[in-house]
Structure 1
Amino acid sequence: MCTGNICRSPVGEAVLQSQLSEEVTVSSAGTHAVVGAPAEPEAHDFLRRELNLESDHVARQLTREQAESADLIITMTSEHRSWVARSAPRAVRRIFTLKELSLLLDALPSETQFSSLKDVALAASRLRPRLAGELVDLDIADPYGGPPEGYESSFSEVLDFSRHVAREIEQRLPAA
C-alpha cells in the first residue's frame, strides 16, 4: 500500500502475487488513492521489463474494513503504516513497512513454520522491539513526478524486498 496506489504498491502487488502460491491473495490500495486510475506507465514498463508481467491494475482506496480483515498489511513508508494504524487500530499488529517486514522475517528462526499468514504477521510483530533502537530507514521513496531514475530506484527496491518477503513467507507456510 502506498499513497496514490499508482506507483510503488502496484509493483509490490504484482511481484508478491507472482512469487507467492495461488492460495495467497495479494491486493494493493492507497491511503489517498487516485481511485480508478491505472498504474503509472513507468510501473507497467518496469513490470514488463523485469518480470515479463502485464498489469491491469486500477487504483483503490483502502477502507477500515479491508484493513481489519487483512492477515498482513504491507506499506511503503512508516507514514503509511501510521495512517493505517489510525484508520484501523485493530490491525496494528499486522501492519509493516515492506523493509521492516523483510528485516523482521530475517530475525525469525529459519525453521519456524506457521499455519497462516496472520500467524507470520503476529510473530514478526513480536520482534518489533529489536528494530526500535536501530536507525534504519524503513521507507521506500515515492518516485511520482520525479525523474526516470527515481522510478527505477524505487521500483528496484520494491522488487528486491518483495522477492525476499515472498521467499520468507513461502518457507514458513506449508500451504503457501
Structure 2
Amino acid sequence: MTKILMVCLGNICRSPLAEGILQSKLDHKLFSVDSAGTSSYHIGNKPDPRSIAVAKQHGIDITKQQARQFIKQDFIDFDIIYAMDNSNYDNIIALAENDAQKSKVKLILNESVPEQNLDVPDPYFGGDNGFEKVYKLLEEASEKISQQLNSLT
C-alpha cells in the first residue's frame, strides 16, 4: 500500500481538503491518504467548518478527520509527503534526517504546475471564496497525482 501525507500549517483547512480530494480519487485498497500540520495549534480539532462545507459541496466528507501535528515518524510511515506551501515544505525538510527522507517531500502544486513552487494560499483568514479557490487548486493537483499513481497499478 502506498501511503501519502498532506501537510499544511494547522491541519484544519488545506491539508484536510487535500486528503479528502485525493482519497476520493484512489483505490482505498492500494492507497492511504492522511494529513497533518506543522504546528500544534489545532491538535484534535475537526477541519474548519468552511473546509467541511466546500468538501461537502463537491461530494466529499471530511468530518471524521482530526488535526494532528507532523512528526519525524511520518518520514518512516509515509511514501510521499505533500506540503501545501513553501513555508511548510521548509519546516518539514528541517525535520528530515537524511536525503531519502527529504526526497519524499514535494510541493503539491508542482504536480499541476511543474517547477513553479507555488503555494496553496491559506484561506483561514479570508472569506468563503478562498476555500473554493483552494478546493479547485487541490482538485487539479490531486487529479494529476491520481493519474500518476493509478498508472503504476
TM-score normalised by the chain length of structure 2: 0.86
Match of 2:14 in 1: 8
Q: Tell me if the contact between 1:67 and 1:84 (Cα under 8 Å) persists in the aligned partners.
A: no
1:90-101 matched pairs, under 5 angstroms: 90=98, 91-101=101-111
Distance 1:49 1:9 in 2: 17
Give the 4+ runs in structure 1 shifted more than 3 A.
Answer: 101-104
Matching of residue 24 in structure 1 with residue 34 in structure 2:
no
Unaligned runs of 5+ in 2: 1-6
Post-superposition offset of 1:73: 0.2
**Max radius of gyration: which structure?**
1
Q: Hey, which of these two has a bigger chunk of strand by percent?
A: 2
Q: Tell me if the contact between 2:112 and 2:140 (Cα under 8 Å) persists in the aligned partners.
A: no
The number of equivalent residue pairs is 143
Unaligned runs of 5+ in 1: 105-130
Show CA shifts across 1:79-128 (max 9, x none).
Answer: 11111111123310110011113455xxxxxxxxxxxxxxxxxxxxxxxx
1:112-131 matched pairs, under 5 angstroms: 131=115
Post-superposition offset of 1:69: 3.1
Provide the identity percentage: 27
1:61 corresponds to which letter in structure 2? Q
Q: CA RMSD in A?
A: 1.6
Q: Tell me if the contact between 1:74 and 1:95 (Cα under 8 Å) persists in the aligned partners.
A: yes
TM-score normalised by the chain length of structure 1: 0.75
Change (3 A) 1:54 1:13: closer
